[in-house]
């Protein structure tokens, strides 16, 4: 490190000498060991420095009025900082018109790694054939205005923080680079426009910008950085020679994170950069934490949706299992009743098929044959005289058969009535057997939207949720209806030529006892002649439809004592399905289904 610092000290002193030494002048550099210290002297035959300025020349931004005043007054201040860093001293002596001598003394005992080679005389060098580095030092104030500098030590995989320095002064850039390059990687730009290009390309972690620059000044640069979502998190330190609260407020108004006034201490510059880096790293950590939290929330939502789906399946399975047990019991009961009815039917059939109606027909025929001598036939004829007695017996038998038929018919009627009651009870039970639970309607709708995976269908969902109370109802059944209605709207939009596909889901209170859920779309719509049939079993306008979804939805809503209606202005005019449900569906009245054709 000591060798690099001494090189910087030497180059800055040479740069200063070159600036103030006229053509045909000379510069002499000597380096040797004196006792336990290293002595470096730089002598020039330049314009010299007045004694009134000598005590100020090592102050930052101090400039001596002379034939060359294009510098920034930081080169000698930087030399002073480096000499102090090595524990040494620097002095100057000068005479107007004759030149200046700078003497640097650096102790060797505190810098043991410094080694001095034997004295080597360097030939006289003119400005025309000077080494490139020295010539560049002499030209620092006249480099191209459009140059963008990337420090050679910036590496693609460097672990150092990357700092962008934007300043139109070459000396100021060199000064800040020299102060910072041991701690940070540095990229340099001469104005805000070039800085924007460097920011997009290299993504620095801190931006250090001068306030006054050509093309785009520091205020405009800061405003542009903070207006870009990709760069707004990068801390910006605004550096200016202006003083006063107004300039500070102007910088902070455009979004600057910090403000540094010239002149400044190197320690202050480094401290402010370190503070800005902490802000940057805190932002990165917070962003990563937020991203992780968002991912966890998304995963939890997916798990919640899956859990709700599984819960619905479990509830449905439990319901089906319970219904199966009930159905088994009911069928057993009905089976017993049917057995009894079957016996009654068999007995009635037997009585009818084995009746004495044929005997009556024979007696009638005999009486008809002997109608002209009926008296003698009934009293004297061997067969005829038994007819009256036989009719008595036949009447008795018929009366017994009649009473038996009446009894069995009543029993059959009772059994049939019993079966009818069982079926009616089962139907009533089927309407109330669902698992009723407290349900947030907006949350239920969001679950149904997620289950339909609408985000991947390029369809915009418009949500208009007016506040409604929490309701206790069959959540699984309502979810099945909502999933079906949303899927129906998606299918309608897929068949439509409309460019901006939209589904609107709306909730609001109808009155104190009921609320409304609407699912509308701007899709294919419904032809007027199809409106009345839309909820009919087996009716569909879809090519691959089965005509069951809307019918099943209408039935389910009726079972929940609600109403399902539809309105459409016609083909390519969209449709709106409206659910009307009671806050207490167990006590509500069913309103059925209704289809309306709307006029514009």
This model's pTM is above 0.95: no
Rounded mean pLDDT of 195-211? 92
- What percent of the chain has pLDDT above 70? 78
What pLDDT is attached to residue 404?
Answer: 84
Q: Residue 409 corresponds to which tokens in the numbers above?
A: 């018919």
What pLDDT is attached to residue 60?
Answer: 67
Instruction: Give the whole-angstrom CA distance, residue 265 versus residue 243.
Output: 16
Rounded mean pLDDT of 267-287? 90
**64 pLDDT exceeds 70?**
no
Q: pLDDT digits over 233-244, tens only?
A: 999 999 886 655
Rounded mean pLDDT of 338-345? 80
**528 pLDDT exceeds 50?**
yes
Alpha helices in 203-265 (DSSP H): 218-227, 245-253
**459 pLDDT exceeds 60?**
yes
**454 pLDDT exceeds 60?**
yes
Q: For 186-195, 350-359, 393-402, 557-566, which range has the lowest pLDDT when averaged over its residues? A: 350-359
What pLDDT is attached to residue 598?
Answer: 47
Strand-strand pairing, 502-511 and 514-521: antiparallel
On whether the CB atoms of residues 181 and 151 are closer than 8 A, the answer is: yes
Q: For 244-248, 441-445, 481-485, which range has the lowest pLDDT when averaged over its residues? A: 244-248
Average pLDDT, the chain: 80
DSSP letters of 339-350?
A: HHHHHHHHHHHH
Rounded mean pLDDT of 173-201? 90
Element (H, E) at 34: strand 27-34
If one compares 314 and 31, the residue with the highest pLDDT of the two is: 31
Rounded mean pLDDT of 341-356? 79
**507 pLDDT exceeds 50?**
yes
If one compares 314 and 39, the residue with the highest pLDDT of the two is: 39
Instruction: Give the whole-angstrom CA distance, residue 351 versus residue 129.
Output: 142
Instruction: Give the whole-angstrom CA distance, residue 176 versus residue 165.
Output: 8
What pLDDT is attached to residue 579?
Answer: 95
Instruction: Give the whole-angstrom CA distance, residue 162 versus residue 129.
Output: 36
**73 pLDDT exceeds 80?**
no
Q: Which long-range contacts (CB under 8 A, 24 or more apart) does 559-562 make?
A: 559/430, 559/431, 559/477, 560/473, 560/474, 560/477, 560/478, 560/585, 561/585, 561/586, 561/587, 561/588, 561/589, 561/590, 562/588, 562/590, 562/591
What pLDDT is attached to residue 421?
Answer: 74
Name beta bridge partners: 122: none
On whether the CB atoms of residues 530 and 541 are closer than 8 A, the answer is: yes
**161 pLDDT exceeds 60?**
yes
């Amino acid at each position: 490190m000591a060798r690099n610092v001494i090189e910087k000290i030497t180059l800055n002193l040479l740069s200063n000498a070159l600036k103030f030494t006229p053509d045909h002048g000379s510069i002499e550099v000597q380096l040797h060991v004196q006792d336990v210290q290293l002595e470096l002297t730089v002598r020039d035959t330049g314009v010299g420095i007045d004694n009134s300025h000598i005590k100020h020349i090592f102050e930052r931004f101090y400039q001596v009025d002379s034939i060359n005043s294009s510098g920034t007054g930081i080169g000698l201040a930087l030399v002073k900082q480096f000499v102090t860093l090595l524990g040494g001293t620097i002095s100057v002596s000068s005479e107007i018109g004759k030149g200046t001598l700078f003497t640097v003394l650096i102790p060797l005992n505190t810098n043991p790694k410094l080694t001095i080679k034997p004295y080597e005389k360097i030939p006289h060098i003119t400005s025309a054939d000077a080494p490139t580095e020295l010539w560049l030092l002499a030209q620092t104030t006249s480099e191209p205005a459009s140059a963008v500098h990337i420090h050679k030590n910036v590496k693609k995989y460097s672990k150092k923080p990357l700092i962008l320095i934007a300043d139109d002064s070459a000396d100021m850039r060199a000064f800040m680079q020299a102060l910072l390059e041991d701690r940070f990687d540095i990229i340099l730009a001469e104005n805000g426009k070039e800085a924007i290009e460097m920011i997009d390309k290299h993504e620095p972690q801190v931006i250090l910008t001068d306030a006054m620059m050509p093309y785009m000044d520091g205020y405009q640069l800061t405003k542009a950085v903070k207006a870009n979502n990709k760069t707004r998190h990068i801390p910006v330190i605004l550096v200016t020679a202006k003083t006063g609260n107004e300039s500070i407020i102007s910088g902070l108004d455009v979004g600057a994170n910090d403000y540094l006034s010239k002149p400044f201490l190197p320690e202050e510059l480094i401290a402010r950069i370190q503070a800005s880096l902490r802000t940057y790293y805190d932002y990165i950590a917070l962003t990563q934490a937020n991203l992780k939290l968002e991912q966890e929330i998304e995963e939890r939502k997916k798990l919640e949706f899956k859990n709700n789906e599984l819960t619905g399946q479990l509830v449905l399975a439990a319901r089906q299992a319970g219904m199966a047990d009930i159905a088994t019991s009911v069928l057993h009961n009905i089976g017993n009743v049917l057995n009894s009815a079957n016996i009654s039917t068999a007995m009635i059939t037997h009585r009818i098929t084995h009746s004495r109606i044929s005997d009556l027909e024979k007696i009638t025929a005999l009486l008809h044959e002997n109608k002209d001598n009926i008296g003698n036939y009934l009293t004297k004829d061997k067969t005829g005289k038994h007819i009256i007695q036989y009719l008595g017996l036949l009447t008795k038998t018929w009366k017994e058969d009649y009473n038996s038929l009446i009894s069995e018919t009543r029993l059959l009627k009772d059994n049939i009535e019993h079966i009818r009651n069982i079926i009616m009870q089962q139907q009533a039970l089927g309407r109330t057997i669902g698992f009723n639970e407290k349900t947030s309607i907006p949350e239920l709708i969001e679950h149904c939207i997620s289950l339909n995976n609408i985000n991947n269908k390029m369809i915009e969902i418009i949500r208009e949720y007016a506040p409604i109370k929490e309701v206790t109802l069959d959540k699984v059944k309502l979810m099945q209806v909502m999933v079906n209605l949303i899927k129906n709207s998606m299918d309608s939009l897929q068949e439509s030529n409309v460019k901006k596909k939209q589904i609107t889901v709306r909730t609001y209170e109808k009155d104190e006892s009921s609320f409304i859920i609407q699912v509308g779309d701007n899709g294919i719509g419904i032809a007027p002649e199809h409106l009345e049939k839309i909820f009919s079993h087996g009716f569909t306008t879809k090519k691959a439809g089965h005509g069951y979804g809307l019918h099943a939805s209408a039935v389910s809503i009726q079972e929940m004592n609600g109403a399902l209606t539809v309105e459409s202005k016609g083909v390519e005019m969209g449709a709106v399905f409206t659910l009307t449900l009671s806050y207490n569906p167990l006590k509500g009245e069913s309103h059925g289904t209704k289809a309306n054709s709307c006029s514009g």
